[in-house]
Structures are given as C-alpha cells and as structure tokens.
Chain A
Amino acid sequence: MRVVVDFDLCESNAVCMGIAPEVFEVRDDDFLYVLQEEPDESLRPKIEEAVARCPKQAISIEG
C-alpha cells in the first residue's frame, strides 16, 4: 500500500493527522509531511478513514 497526497489540493488543515498521526504530520511550517509513504497494512483502516475525511479529497491509496 502506498499513500499519495495531491499537494496541489492539500490545504494543510491536518484532519488526516488527527486520524493517523503515524502517517501524516502537519509541522510548524504549515506543510503536511507524509511520514511513511508505504505504511504497514495494519494502518489501512485509519488511512482509509483519512481518505474519506480529507475535506479536499487530496489523499489516495495505491495498492
């Protein structure tokens, strides 16, 4: 599984970070960092939730 964020859409509102802080982090520079691009399968439910909740529909999962 690969986590892809469309940074042209992302507006750094950190919703994804609230759901899966292991994978998404908005830092003090206001940019979103993907901490693990190929996270463990056990994180899939959380990442799927982040995909569903991202107000900009900026996150997708490949594979």
Chain B
Amino acid sequence: MERIVVVGASLAGLHAAEALRAGGFDGSLTIVGDERPLPYDRPPLSKQVLAGTQQLAEIVLRQSSTIDVNWERGVAATGLDLSNRELQLADSRSLGFDGIVIAVGAAPRRLPGTETYANVCELRTDEDVRRLRALVEAGARHVTVVGAGFIGCEVAATCRGLGLDVTIVEPLPAPLARVLGTEVGHVVAGLHVEHGVEVRLGIGVSSFEGEGEGEGEGEGSRCTGVRLSDGSLVETDVVVVGIGVIPNTGWLEGSGLTLDDGVVCDETTLAAPGVVAAGDVARWPNPTYGGELMRVEHWEHAINMGTHAARRLLAEARGEPGEPFAAVPWFWSDQYDRKLQLAGRVRPDDEVALVAGSYAERRFCVLYGREGRVTGVLAMNMPAKVVRYRRALADGVAWADALADAGA
C-alpha cells in the first residue's frame, strides 16, 4: 500500500492519519476535507466558543500541525470509484489511492421550512457558531432551542450564561429522554428550569412565522416566532435547531459500499477491501453488544475508531486479518456548572437505580439495567464513578451484583 487517502479532516480522520504514521506507514498520505480552516475540536463549539471564552485558534486539533500529510482542505469528495481506486473531488480532480479511510462525520438534520431564515441555525461547524454569535452580538434577546438533545441543552445553558432568555421546545416528555430515559431527563429539565429557562415539553413545532419572506436563502428573511402544536406562539429573535444528525454518505451513493444510516463496516471497521470507516459516519457490529450494528456520535469514539481503522488498513496491507473493534460508548456534556457523563448503551425503558448522591443536589450517579445486566452508568458531577463502572461494563456486570456492591 503506497497511497492512502483520508476523507474528512476532523477528529476521526486526524487520529487515523496519526495512527497510520505511528504504525509505520511512510507512503503518500493525503487528507481531504471540505472545511477550510485548520481542523478543530467540536465539543467547545456549544460551550466555550459560543460563550465567547475561546476562539477558533484555541481549539485547533493538535494533529493539524504534527502529522506529515498532504492537505486538501476546502474541497469536498464527490464520488468514490472503487474499481479504479479513485476519489473524485468537487474541483474535478481525482486522487488515486490504494487504501482509504472514510471519516466524513454527520450533518445536522434541518427543519423543513426554515431554510430561508437568516436567524435559524444549526450547530456543527465553526461557521455555525460564528453565525449564532453574530446574531447574539447584534442584540438578540431571546433564543428558542428546538430539540432538547445534548447539543440543544448545551446551547440553552450557554445562552443563559450570556444573559439571553431561552425557551426549549421538545416533543418528548423530558430532555434527553431518548438517551437517558424520562426519570433522569426530568432532573435535567429541573436543572434548566432552575437556571431560568422556559422548558416546553411534550410539544412540537407546527410552523415558523417570519418577516421578509420570499427572498433568497438566508438573505434578510427573519423568523420572528415559533408556532407550537398547541397553537401558542413563542416570539423569538433566534432559533437553534438541534434535532439530530444524518451521516454524510450522499457522495457515496452508487459506490458499491453498503450505506444504511452510515457506512456499514464489518466488526474490524473494514467496509470493503482497502476501505475503512470511522467516527460519526461509521456503523459496525460492536462485539461488546453481541454484534449489534451501531453508530456512535461521540468524541472519544471518533478517536478510538479512527485509530483502530488505521491499524486495520495497515494489517490488510501486511496481509493480516484485522482485530475486531469493541467499544463501550462514553460521552460527556457540560451544562451550567454541571458535568454529565454517560457510559454504556442505554435504552429509554431500561431500569434505573440511583446508587450515589441525590437528584435534588444535582450530584448523583445512576445505573441502568435490562434483563439482569447493567447497560450503562450516568453521573452528574461524579466523573470518577463513571470511569470505575465503565471498566466493569466492558466485562459485563450482573444488575443484582452491581446494586449490592453499591449498597443500593
């Protein structure tokens, strides 16, 4: 293998490139990414960068300057020709390769009917956060957050910190209910209410009201209110939509790779001979969960899977079989002065047991369980607990034993 191309110049892609070099690959290594700036870290976008306490230059990924690669930044990959081993680029060039790492991540789902409004934003890129900050600096007073997932909750918390009035609208009965279940979701709702956020749960958005309609996309037309499914109107200056992401696989249609909510790989991260995928875009049968196909949209996962995928490619070059990639997902989220951490694979209807602290103090640890086994651990401001349980989760822990140990 002499030429390797990494598509996607972000967390998974850069860690893959770093691991390729660390693994002894000394051939030609090119990273293609459609964003123009030096690759940066995304978690601070909804936290410090939105708050104005960190600038883009401070969140540039270390690998941007440490790895020996050819950069193709600001140009998208538009097609993959596996039989000729060529990657097509948006500027009509194509790059030949022997091995390829697909690490193109995911893009925010947009709400239909909002495309024309200049003040309706998603939050995924530095450009998104600059646009949002510009609206705040231009004097916005009220922000409506549609969708109380992790990003929506963080945006709400950061905007309160900036002194803005905030309304969260969420069709489910609690924030984060899909990830944490309703019991813990209600604790998160309480946290936001305590900080003065108006939290509207169990209610959907029916339409957007605006002024200056009929103009081009994002030019001049402004959303002035969000009409909810109960008929009420939330008057607002800015809308932030956080309703999940879709893997960036459009450009791979017809390439022969299996696409199904992401690039589908085998348990070693291989999607086809010489092709590996990692990070938010990759779906693979996770051996830790009996081979259940999953796609994980977490920071640490992108690092681990990117690194693993690189090693997988090098193993193939040496004619060796790859190792399976087994993972216990882990995520953190900062909201106000609270840190949430979740490890494991939780379903909303799993059993919940409080094993330390209390909901009222907003400092606690809960275990989730199903069919007699622990499925996950979540803590608010008790990070060490999550680390300890996470190790046990990989080995599999009986629910009864875990509760007995915790004295719960």
* A interface residues with partner B (beta carbon < 8 Å): 11-15, 17-18, 25-28, 30, 52-53, 55, 57
B408 within 8 A of A: no
Contacts A12-B339, A13-B332, A13-B339 hold; do A55 and B387 have CB atoms under 8 A apart?
no
Which chain A residue lies CB-closest to B61? A57
Q: Identify which of B77-85, B106-114, B265-273, B378-386 touches chain A.
A: B378-386
* B334 cross-chain contacts in A, Cβ below 8 A: 11
A1 to B80, CA, bound (A): 46
Contact B383 A12 (CB under 8 A): yes
Interface 0/1 of B302-333, CB less than 8 Å to A: 01000000000000000000000000000010
Contact B387 A30 (CB under 8 A): no
A12 to B62, CA, bound (A): 20
Which chain A residue lies CB-closest to B383? A14
* A13 cross-chain contacts in B, Cβ below 8 A: 332, 339, 341, 383
Contact B339 A18 (CB under 8 A): no
A15 to B332, CA, bound (A): 10
Which chain B residue lies CB-closest to A19? B387
Q: List which B332-386 residues lie within 8 A (CB) of chain A.
A: 332, 334, 339, 341, 381-384, 386
Contact of B384 among A11, A28, A53 (CB under 8 A): A28
Contact A53 B303 (CB under 8 A): yes
Contact A52 B384 (CB under 8 A): no
A55 to B300, CA, bound (A): 8
Contact A14 B43 (CB under 8 A): no
* A25 cross-chain contacts in B, Cβ below 8 A: 384
B391 within 8 A of A: yes
B200 within 8 A of A: no
Contact B300 A26 (CB under 8 A): no
Q: Most chain-B CB neighbours within 10 Å: which of A14, A52, A57? A: A14
A63 to B339, CA, bound (A): 33
| Chain B nearest Cβ from A14, distance in angstroms | 4
Contacts A55-B43, A55-B332, A57-B62 hold; do A14 and B384 have CB atoms under 8 A apart?
yes
Contact B381 A30 (CB under 8 A): yes
Contact B303 A26 (CB under 8 A): no
Listed by A's residue number, 27 A-B pairs whose Cβ atoms lie within 8 Å are A11-B334, A12-B383, A13-B332, A13-B339, A13-B341, A13-B383, A14-B341, A14-B383, A14-B386, A15-B300, A15-B387, A17-B384, A17-B387, A18-B390, A26-B383, A26-B384, A27-B384, A28-B384, A30-B381, A30-B382, A30-B383, A52-B303, A53-B300, A53-B303, A55-B41, A55-B332, A57-B62
* B384 cross-chain contacts in A, Cβ below 8 A: 14, 17, 25-28
B289 within 8 A of A: no
* B41 cross-chain contacts in A, Cβ below 8 A: 55
A30 to B300, CA, bound (A): 21
A13 to B332, CA, bound (A): 8
| Chain A nearest Cβ from B296, distance in angstroms | 16
A39 to B387, CA, bound (A): 21
| Chain A nearest Cβ from B360, distance in angstroms | 18
| Chain A nearest Cβ from B4, distance in angstroms | 20
| Chain A nearest Cβ from B297, distance in angstroms | 15
* B299 cross-chain contacts in A, Cβ below 8 A: 55
Contact A18 B43 (CB under 8 A): no
| Chain B nearest Cβ from A61, distance in angstroms | 13
| Chain B nearest Cβ from A28, distance in angstroms | 7
Which chain B residue lies CB-closest to A21? B387
* B62 cross-chain contacts in A, Cβ below 8 A: 57
* A55 cross-chain contacts in B, Cβ below 8 A: 41, 43, 299-300, 332
